[in-house]
Amino acid sequence: MKSVKYTELTPKEFKERLKAAPIAYLPLGTLEWHGEHLPLGSDGIQSQGFFQILAQDVGGIVLPMLFLGPDRMLKNGDQELYGMDICTNPQDDKCFYQNRQLDGSAYWVSEQLFEMILESVLFQLSRAGFRIIVAHGHGPSTNFFKDHISIWEKKFGLKCFICWGSKYDEEGLGLQVDHAAMNETSLVMALRPELVKMNNLPQDKDTWPIGIAGKDPRTFASKDMGEKIIAHQSERMATILRQALMEVDNESN
């Protein structure tokens, strides 16, 4: 199977893949706490892994993970807390934990800086010859990209997409639609099973794991569930991207 990773292509291979399908896939990752059971790079592992499957089917080139991104921020004296450092369910005894810096998180940038980074990336990708950009991953990063699509499409002459939008997203069958719970745990189980350490989670089901938002992964997560999500979402996104390729081709002619 030929590589679809930007970093592994020779110029000749790059040119061939670009000509066949001028799609760039941008994994919006983080280095962020995803429970005791998932790796810190889970956001990028999921999006990049999914994009590699999609690129093998539709065509295109997968970029390296972008590990910086925006998120909630709370000043706590001299300390800054980000994202899941901040308990999202202070009224829920089951999910409650004290606000604190969670181990390993190292990704936060302001929205202003993130906008500058993404605009620089999009300019470079447009300059390299890409016509379609698919970005997805960390929730706040993905939402930021989504909110700027109409602006960036005009500014850079690109067609831009994220991977949310399925009618099944609210059922937990979308791509990265919770935080380290059933959905994301299942996806990592399917893509990189050797990285999932379920035994690290509390064995007592009445003790809720810290920094997890969604259905309990100890009860609901599985490799089969992850493969089901990937199959459904890759088929859906392939249809969207093939239509975009036809539109790009018609515009060129």
Angle formed at CA 115 by CA 114 and CA 118, multiple of 5 degrees: 85
Average pLDDT over residues 94-103: 89
What range defines the domain where residue 127 resides? 6-68+110-252
pTM: 0.96
* Sheet with 61-62: strands ordered across: 61-62, 23-28, 132-137, 159-161
- pLDDT of 99 > 80? The answer is yes
Average pLDDT over residues 80-99: 85
- pLDDT of 253 > 90? The answer is no
The predicted structure's pLDDT at residue 200: 98
- pLDDT of 168 > 90? The answer is no
92 domain residue, yes or no: no
* Number of domains composing the chain: 1
Q: Domain of 29: which CATH number?
A: 3.40.50.10310
79 domain residue, yes or no: no
Q: What is the pLDDT of residues 8-35, one digit of tens each?
A: 999 999 999 999 999 999 999 999 999 9
The predicted structure's pLDDT at residue 63: 98
The mean-pLDDT minimum among 96-110, 128-142, 187-201 falls in: 96-110
42 domain residue, yes or no: yes
Angle formed at CA 136 by CA 185 and CA 117, multiple of 5 degrees: 125
